[in-house]
Amino acid sequence: MTTTRGAGTGETGTGSSRRAVVAGTVGNFIEWYEFGVYGFFATIIAANFFSPDGAGGLESLIKTYASFALAFFFRPVGAALFGRVGDRIGRKPTLVLVLLLMTGATFLIGVLPTYATVGAAAPWLLTLVRVLQGLSAGGEFGGAVSVMTEFAPAGKRGLYGSWQSFTVALGLLAGAGLAAILGAVLTADQLALWGWRVPFLLALPLGLVALWLRLRLEETPSFRRAAAAPHAAVGGEPVAVPGAAATARAIAVGAARLMGWSAAGYTFLVVMPAYLQSSLGASFQQALVATVLANAGFALTILPAGVLSDRIGRRSVMLTGTVLIVVLALPLLNILQDRGSGTFLQGLAVLVAGAVVGLIAGPGPAMLSEMFPTGVRYTGLGLAYSLSNAVFSGSAGLIITALIAQTSDVDIPAYYVMATCVVSAAALATLRRDGHRRPLGE
């Protein structure tokens, strides 16, 4: 496969590049805002949709996470479906379609009837809407990262791609912040009755703003060149079309490289509130404060990690992050479990946990984009990301909660992220050291 004059070589103007970052990340912000809110309100959603008596409990929480996981398993379907469309008709129209589906599905959660109103139909309705969200989320990442990296100036793909991960943190922080505000101003009964709906309803105005931004987006130079001459020469050399087997291998390797990010990110940033409440007896407010700190640490390291990866390579930065997680996961979790460790030390522990995940998440999007040529980039990187997320993010809450219920071992979250990061580190070790300096393949 020949990599010649591709996007990311400084051909695009600063204005187009900045618009690509904003339009690319805004859908991602909404997606992770919603997934964060769902995780933060998991115990309340469990009581409203999966418990006939409205009392909640561990069994209904497991069912809530099962619905959560099911949406993730539809992400690869969405990645394949929308990725194929995006590689054929363009990044812009596909991202607009994905955004409309995502916004509509998120808004619907805010108006769904609960178990008390429609009985056993309630969990099925919620699960159906979660499936629609999974499909749209699967089509979001590949297109957004393709847009940002294909518009990125030379030597800045890591920085531009890291904005995708940064909006994950912003979305989760926005969801946590709103949940904290609602928890502070509403009574427990009000929060359980209608307050939890507010964050989902807000997806509609957020989606309209995002739609306006995406409609102003230009098509990427890489896609325009590939569409104009899909089998012609680029820079005087023929463009190689990758075979299905080569693309499948790249997708599998990409998913393995992201495994630790997926598992650790969801464990530390989304599952943590329910874990602290159900396993360690923390209050709703205490769990949210811990989550805000973890996401703040995550946000602090993402952009610097992306910039650093443009200088020293994706391999070094991402390997450092995975190794640190393997070493620190259990000690950090033990600090949270020790009630005598003090508020400051516990806050520092969750801050550090989020920060080390950011070292993987910052360079991750650019690393994936560099693995695929233009003709399959939307599909390839979208599938690698969504497969990793489906198995190791979407299932995180279900696996951790179920294993704790069976074993009573509260160290399960640490073991889970350590095991996945070991595999990720092995896959990341195969990265080219100079991959960040090579142009994107056309």
**Rounded to whole angstroms, what are the CA distances from 365 to 318, 361, 374?**
11, 7, 15
Q: Between these two residues, 56 and 39, which has the higher pLDDT value?
A: 39
Query: 11 falls in which pLDDT band (50, 70, 90)?
Result: very low
- CB 259, CB 144: distance < 8 Å: no
Using 50, 70 and 90 to split pLDDT, how confident is the model at 438?
confident
Other C-beta atoms lying within 10 Å of the C-beta of residue 324? 18
To which H or E segment does residue 147 belong?
Answer: helix 121-151
Q: Residue 431 CA to chain centroid, in angstroms? A: 22
> pLDDT by residue (tens digit) across 72-104?
789 899 999 999 999 999 999 999 999 999 999
Confidence of residue 13 (pLDDT cuts 50, 70, 90): low
Residue 270 DSSP symbol: I
Q: Which pair of tokens denotes residue 369? A: 């984009």
Q: Read off the amino acid at residue 104.
A: G
Quick check: 431 pLDDT over 90?
Answer: yes
Going through 231-322 in order, the beta strands assigned E by DSSP cover 233-234, 237-238
Alpha helices in 152-238 (DSSP H): 157-185, 188-193, 198-201, 203-215, 221-228
Comparing 72 with 264, the larger pLDDT belongs to 264
Structural tokens at position 227: 């569409």
* Residue partners of 141: CB distance under 8 A and separation at least 6: 28, 79, 164, 365, 381, 382, 385, 386
* The pLDDT of residue 232: 45
Closest C-alpha to 151, from 219, 90, 72, 229:
219
Most confident of 39-53, 70-84, 250-264, 388-402: 250-264
**Closest by Cα among 170, 109, 97 to 139:** 97
Architecture (CATH level 2) of domain 14-220+242-433: Up-down Bundle (1.20)
The residues, ordered by sequence, that sit 6+ positions from 312 with a Cβ below 8 Å of its Cβ are: none
DSSP per position, 237-257: EEPPPPPHHHHHHHHHHHHHH
pLDDT number for residue 314: 96
Per-residue model confidence (pLDDT) at position 320: 97
d(CA 31, CA 171): 8
- Range with the poorest average pLDDT among 11-15, 174-178, 261-265: 11-15
For 248-265, b where at least 16 C-beta lie within 10 A, e where not — what string?
eebbebbbbbbbbbbbbb
Pairing state between β 233-234 and 237-238? antiparallel
pLDDT-wise least confident of 234-243, 288-297, 382-391: 234-243
Environment class of residue 408 by beta-carbon count within 10 Å: exposed (0-12), middle (13-18) or buried (19+)?
exposed
Per-residue confidence band for 52, with pLDDT thresholds at 50, 70 and 90: confident
Instruction: Please compute the mean of the pLDDT values over residues 299-328 and round it to a whole number.
Output: 96
**What percentage of the chain exceeds 90 in pLDDT?**
47
pLDDT digits (tens, 9 = 90+) for 396-414: 777 887 888 888 888 898 9
Categorize the per-residue pLDDT at 184 as very low, low, confident or very high, splitting at 50, 70 and 90: confident
Residue 8: band (very low, low, confident or very high) from pLDDT cuts 50, 70, 90: very low
User: Is the model's pTM score more than 0.85?
Assistant: no
Q: What is the mean pLDDT of the chain?
A: 85
pLDDT attached to residue 18: 84
- Quick one: CA torsion of 107, 110, 112, 113, rounded to 10 degrees? -170
Give the burial class of 359: count Cβ atoms within 10 A of its Cβ; 0-12 exposed, 13-18 middle, 19 or more buried: buried
162 has pLDDT over 50: yes
**Residue spans per domain, the chain:** 14-220+242-433
Please return the burial class of 419, using the count of CB atoms within 10 Å of its CB with bins 0-12, 13-18 and 19+: middle
Is residue 177 predicted with pLDDT exceeding 80? yes
